Homo-oligomer: A and B are copies of this chain.
């Protein structure tokens, strides 16, 4: 399921708005959409996420950080970071049928995440990125390869990924990848994602 391009919304980079961006992304054929919009009220988050829930029928639809919003809109699951709700608590609240993904920055965090029963790993930041101020030091392709050797868990790679390095990221062992600044804010999101999908497919085939 998590194979291909994993789309994350970014209200600050978006030109046409999050709803339009996600429509474009779904038309391009992304495998997953993560709703992330930290700086608006809960009411507006739910309103926006409700619209996205209807748009993302085939795609995995997860909410960043906010389990309350995920429950309110019946999302497929959550994406958590290291400073969000602990995975064990999130699992208790959401139950075993919901998808929980966790961003990890080291092998130790990956091992802990797997032992906590997360459904997929976000490995970040692979390269240097300007999109997320608190992203931390790049982990490189080596961490992806190390995790892939040890676990079968789906890996989503994120951070500084572009059309030049996308194939390498997939070859290193990632199942899917996300690029924000290289996609959101461009005039044709669908076309940009299609370019990435070509690279991803070349990476998967090699």
Q: Chain A residues in contact with chain B, CB under 8 A?
A: 41-44, 46, 65-68, 71-72, 82-86, 89, 93
Contacts and interface: CB of A to CB of B under 8 A. Distances in A.
* Interface majority SS (helix, strand, loop, mixed), chain A: helix
A9 to B, nearest CB: 18
A49 B50 CA distance: 28
A43 B83 contact: yes
B84 A43 contact: yes
A133 B90 CA distance: 32
A46 B85 CA distance: 7
B65 A85 contact: no
22 contacts: A41-B83, A41-B84, A42-B65, A42-B83, A42-B84, A42-B85, A43-B82, A43-B83, A43-B84, A43-B85, A46-B85, A46-B86, A67-B68, A67-B71, A68-B68, A68-B71, A68-B85, A68-B93, A71-B93, A72-B85, A72-B89, A72-B93
Contacts of A68: 66-68, 71, 85, 93
A165 to B, nearest CB: 30
Contacts of A46: 85-86, 89
A85 B82 CA distance: 25
Nearest to A73: B89
Nearest to A67: B68
A89 B49 CA distance: 14
A77 to B, nearest CB: 14
Contacts of A41: 83-84
A43 B86 contact: yes
